[in-house]
């Protein structure tokens, strides 16, 4: 199962991921990304890839199983 991982040193709180894939990402109290569930089923990959592509500072990445 693929996993989505956030690099908190890169996250600038653009929130594009939250707006693109609200079931997978949220903002924490610090204004940075929170990954709601790291493990992804195959049918969740498309929207999560869109969220990864939407991040202006490349703070999100997909790790293969």
Interaction site with other proteins (CB under 8 A): 12-16, 18-19, 22, 26-27, 31-32, 56
Residue 49, helix vs strand vs coil: helix
**Total residues belonging to the chain:** 65
Shortest distance, position 3 Cβ to other proteins, whole Å? 22
Residue 25, helix vs strand vs coil: strand
Between 3 and 14, CB nearer to other proteins: 14
Only one residue has tokens 């079931």, namely: 23
Shortest distance, position 65 Cβ to other proteins, whole Å? 28
Residue 43, helix vs strand vs coil: helix
Shortest distance, position 32 Cβ to other proteins, whole Å? 8
């Amino acid at each position: 199962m693929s996993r989505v991982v956030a690099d908190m040193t890169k996250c600038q709180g653009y929130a594009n991921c939250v707006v693109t894939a609200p079931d997978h990402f949220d903002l924490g109290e610090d204004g940075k990304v929170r990954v709601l569930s790291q493990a992804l089923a195959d049918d969740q990959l498309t929207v999560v890839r869109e969220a990864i592509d939407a991040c202006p500072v490349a703070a999100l990445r997909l790790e293969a199983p």
